[in-house]
Amino acid sequence: MAVIKYKGVGIIGMAACVPKNISRNVDLSDLIPPDEINKVINNIGIIEKRYVSEGVTASDLCFEAADKLLTDMDIDRNSIDMVIFMSQSPDHRIPATAPYLQHKLKLPKSTACFDLSLACSGYIYSLSTAFAFASQEGIDRVLLLDGETFSKIVSPKDKVNAPLYGDAGTATLIEKDNFSESIFTLYTDGSGQDAIKIKAGGARFPTNNESLISKKREEGNFRADIDIYMDGLEVFNFTLKVVPNSIKEVLSISNILIENIDNFVFHQANKFMIDFFIKKLKINPEKVPFSLDTFGNVSSATIPLTIVSRMKNQLNNQSKKVLMSGFGAGLSWGTAVLELDNCYICELIEI
C-alpha cells in the first residue's frame, strides 16, 4: 500500500460536461429478455446513460468543462502551470492529448502537459499526481482533465457491458493554498489484469482484420477483440473484498472517525456495490451521492461527475470532509480523504 500525504494543496474548482444524447436501458429489451430488463436495471441502478455523437471525443468534453471552469472562476490562463489528461480513450495513440488541450484552451507554452492512463481508479491516482506536482516549487496550479467515451468501445450486443457505460468529461483545478492535510492510499493487484480488458490494439496484440470481427462469446454475447470485456463476477468479488478494507485503512491513518466524514463519493460502478459499502461500513446513506442512475459508469470520471452533478449546492461556499474511492481494471484501487473548502462547482454542461 502506498500512503501519500499532502498539506497546503487542494481543489479550488470543478466542472463536468456530458453529451445530450441519452440511451435508456429499458430500450435494451432486444438484447436482454423483457422479463429480465427491469431486474437488471434495479440491480445495477442505471436507468440511462449519455453517449457522444460521431466525431466527439473525451477531450472535447473535457475542453468544455475546463473552458467553463476557467471562465466562470475568472482564472488567468497564464497561471496554469500543468495540464494532466486522465483517460483510456485519448484522441490518438501518438501524440498525447494533453498538449492539444493546452493549445485549445489557450494556455501558455510554459505549461507542462502529459497524459495518464488508468481505468476506474484513475481519478484518485491522477488527483494524487496533481497534488504531488502542485506541492513542488515552481508549480502553483494544475488543471486535471478526466474524461472517457466508453460508448465507443462497448459492443452493443454485449449484454454485460451495454447497460453500464456512458460518456463524460471533467475538469478539476488544484492549487497551493492554506489547505489542511490530504491523505491518499493506492493499491494494485496485477494478477487480475484479465478481469477487465480490451485484448487488441496494443503492442502485444496489434489490431488486425480478425480483431475487428464481432464473434459470439460467453453466454451468447457478441464482441470483437477491440471491444471491452469484463468478468463481472471476478470484478464484483474483488471490489466487495478490497474497498471496505481500504476505507478503514485510510480513516485509521487519517485518525478520522467514519461519522466525521461529510460525504463518501464512490466510483459509480453499480448500485448493489455502493449499497453494500453503505451497509458494511455503517455509513449514513444521505452522505453517499449517486449519479449512476442518469449517467451510468463513466469509468475514472464518475467521481468528479458525481461531485459536480450531485453536490454543487452542498459544496459552494462551504467546507466538507470528503472521502473518495475508485476501483476497477488493473486491478487497481485507491482512496483519498481531503477537505473541499469553498470549492467552486460549475453548473453541469450538456453538449
120 is catalytic: yes
Residue 208 CB neighbour total at 10 angstroms: 10
Torsion of CA 56, 58, 64, 67, to 10 degrees: -140
Q: Report which DSSP code applies to 297.
A: B
- 169: closest CA among 62, 327, 270? 62
What is d(CA 139, CA 91) in angstroms, rounded to the nearest whole number?
Answer: 26
Catalytic residue among 263, 297, 343, 346: 297
346 is catalytic: no
317 is catalytic: no
What is d(CA 138, CA 140) in angstroms, rounded to the nearest whole number?
Answer: 7
What is d(CA 198, CA 191) in angstroms, rounded to the nearest whole number?
Answer: 16
What is d(CA 212, CA 195) in angstroms, rounded to the nearest whole number?
Answer: 21
Catalytic residue among 161, 267, 270, 346: 267
Q: Work out the angle between the directed axes of helices 302-310 and 122-134 (0-180°, nearest 10).
A: 90
Q: Report which DSSP code applies to 38.
A: H
Catalytic residue among 62, 113, 120, 346: 120
Please give the positions annotated as active site.
120, 267, 297
